[in-house]
Amino acid sequence: MTTQLNERRIANAIRVLAMDAVQQANSGHPGAPMGMADIADVVWREFLNHNPSNPQWANRDRFVLSNGHGSMLQYALLHLTGYDLSIEDLKQFRQLHSKTPGHPELGYAPGIETTTGPLGQGIANAVGFAIAEKTLAAQFNKADLTVIDHYTYCFLGDGCLMEGISHEVCSLAGTLNLGKLVVYYDDNGISIDGEVEGWFSDDTEQRFHAYGWQVLRVDGHDTDAIREATLTAKAESNKPTLIICKTVIGLGSPNKQGKEDCHGAPLGKDEIVLTREALGWNEDAFVIPADIYAAWDAKAKGQQSEQAWNEIFAQYQAKYPTEAVELKRRIAGDLPADFAAQADQFIAETNAKGETIATRKASQNTLQAFGPLLPELLGGSADLAGSNLTLWKGCEGVQDNPAGNYIHYGVREFGMTAIANGIALHGGFIPYVATFLMFMEYARNAVRMSALMKQRVIHVYTHDSIGLGEDGPTHQPIEQIASLRGTPNLNTWRPADTVETAIAWKSGLQRQDGPTALILSRQNLPFQNRTAEQLDNIAKGGYVLAAEKGELKAIIIATGSEVDLAMQAYAELDGVRVVSMPCAEIFVQQDAAYREAVLPVQVRARVAVEAAHVDYWWKFVGLDGKVIGMTTYGESAPAKDLFKYFGITKDAVVEAVKAVI
């Protein structure tokens, strides 16, 4: 009993920090941190293998707070265990430019492994962490030396389980036997609207059994039970584990615990006084006694753990020097030293071939060339590999070989994309994922999170327009490219042929501060001849593909399949320049002199042509220009008939140019 009471006092440090910070901010969610404090006490003080002095230690356990609204739980844990997160930082909770924003944000506070808040995506990231750990371990561990060996611990709540993405990713986690994934479900029965039994009556235990998980049930305030369940979870190497923890939200608050009142609002000053009394906590706000700090401090233990791993890695380095160098390179996120040169050689060879093929096929050819150079590539598709052409000859599925390099995600676009974010966050891999462009909509929020967290994920989207033909309006993307282009920190490429496709891949792979979307055609696209200078300028996102004959009177801007339409129109016009703009985001980042050389300001007669929604292009053509594209949904018919029906033709481009001149 004494031990239990002492542990409760240690856990109460989380409760008081959470309620104090939320009260001071007059905003936040105190209930989840107060309810999960006992679980966090056991996991963080007894099981989590981490080093607060080096939050990026490669073999650390990963922790994900999927129910990210309870962010003060994680901030309190980071502060108490010794990370560089001061009590003053906690006092600045939810304030401008603080290290402690309303939800855990990657890059703000040390020890935050991923941005959480959009419910369900945290558990998806955790599945990605677990896949990355298992695959990296299979690729690098030796029979006599294990250098990759860590767990992923995830906290989640009712909201995460209600979101459909949790089904997608937890189903796949069971299929892939992710035995080092341990998830704690905060089963408190309360969400913002009240008691969840009126809208969430699932049998969660049976649901996860059906996925192939190990499922355990505990009292979420019984630290002995939580400890035993965690040991049982770690003993199961072939199944992920869900520990259902029955908790009381806001535990300790005499008048608000167990109620929605403490879910998303401060307790109130009077209730905090009563809560302190109920907890037997006599210190002022934000004051933690020295003995409590000592009980939480993980710095010495963490340094010892990392040092022990360093000694093992030193042995690994001595015995397997090639693998050690490769592992360090991949963890650092660096590409092989000769990658750029070899990529450029492939691009030159592609240019010399001059093939007329679909850009989805050009993408596969590029993967076939780049894949053997980049063992860190970990690809996948949402059950469309034969259409996306994401498989190359060296691919091997991780479901058959844990050391493989390809994930068959099944029809799980949202889950796939959020898992890829987790894989990228883990390190050691560059993930690429694929689906039809139309079904990017299922994954939209996870694409946004790729960009928000600045992760190197390659999003491959094929069947890019009405050019996919007979499948009709449900499958023909219209507004999706504009949506992607409107996403900050996402580079969206829509290449016109084989060369632009290869350069788009090279750009995405070399980029280390954000994701790339590749928009690829189903139909064959003609090859465009270029000079050496034009070839170099593709990487700048936009360039002059065809110079004007005589005085410059008008400019045609095009991307993807419509570049050829622009070139056909060009052949019938004088004084017209064709600009191919495969990546507008990169083009606008070029210096003013280059942009002016491509799109002279004084030339106001401009026409943009793209088989997508017209609205994006007005900023490039101005109110005096014209945009040829889509303003409605598509129809079911062969591609050639659709382009004619919707007026995306050579003749339409010619007439538009004449009109603006």
Find out whether 310 is annotated in a ligand binding site.
no
Annotated catalytic residue, options 413, 500, 548, 562: 413
Is 87 labelled as part of a ligand binding site?
A: no
Per the annotation, does 118 bind a ligand? yes
Whether 253 has a binding-site annotation, put simply, is no
Termini Cα distance of the chain: 87
Q: Annotation-wise, does 422 bind a ligand?
A: no
Residue 463 is assigned to a ligand binding site: yes
Helix, strand, coil: what percent of the chain each, to 5? 50, 15, 40
> Are the C-beta atoms of 37 and 245 separated by less than 8 Å?
no
Burial of 532-555, coded b for 16+ CB within 10 Å and e otherwise, reads eebbebbbbbbbbbbebeeeebbb
Q: Tally DSSP H helices, then E strands, for the chain.
A: 27, 20
**Placement of tokens 């001849």 in the chain:** 529
311 is catalytic: no
Query: Is 471 marked as binding a ligand?
Result: yes
| Residue 439 among known ligand-binding residues | yes
Cα dist from 69 to 101, 167, 264, 286, 363, whole Å = 10, 20, 8, 20, 40
Place of tokens 């060009």: 570
Q: In what order do the strands lie in the sheet with 241-246?
A: 62-65, 152-157, 181-187, 241-246, 214-219
Query: Does 263 carry a binding-site annotation?
Result: yes
**DSSP letter (8 states) at residue 397:** B
Q: Tell whether residue 177 is among the known ligand binding residues.
A: no
Whether 375 has a binding-site annotation, put simply, is no
Cα angle: 154, vertex 206, 411; to 5 degrees: 70
- 400 labeled part of a ligand binding site: no
Neighbouring CB atoms inside 10 A of 620's CB total: 19
What is the C-alpha radius of gyration for the chain, rounded to an integer number of angstroms?
27
- Between CA 129 and CA 124 the distance in angstroms is 9
- 574 is an annotated ligand-binding site residue: no
Residues 117/123/128/132 CA torsion (nearest 10 deg): 110
Task: Name beta bridge partners: 579.
Answer: 544, 557
Known binding residue 426? Answer is no
Residue 78 is labelled as binding a ligand: no
Q: Binding site for thiamine diphosphate: which residues?
A: 69, 117-119, 159, 188, 263, 439
Residues with catalytic function: 413
Question: Which residue ranges make up the annotated binding site for substrate?
Answer: 29, 263, 360, 387, 463, 471, 475, 522
Annotated binding-site ranges:
29, 69, 117-119, 158-159, 188, 190, 263, 360, 387, 439, 463, 471, 475, 522
The annotated binding site for Mg(2+) is made up of 158, 188, 190
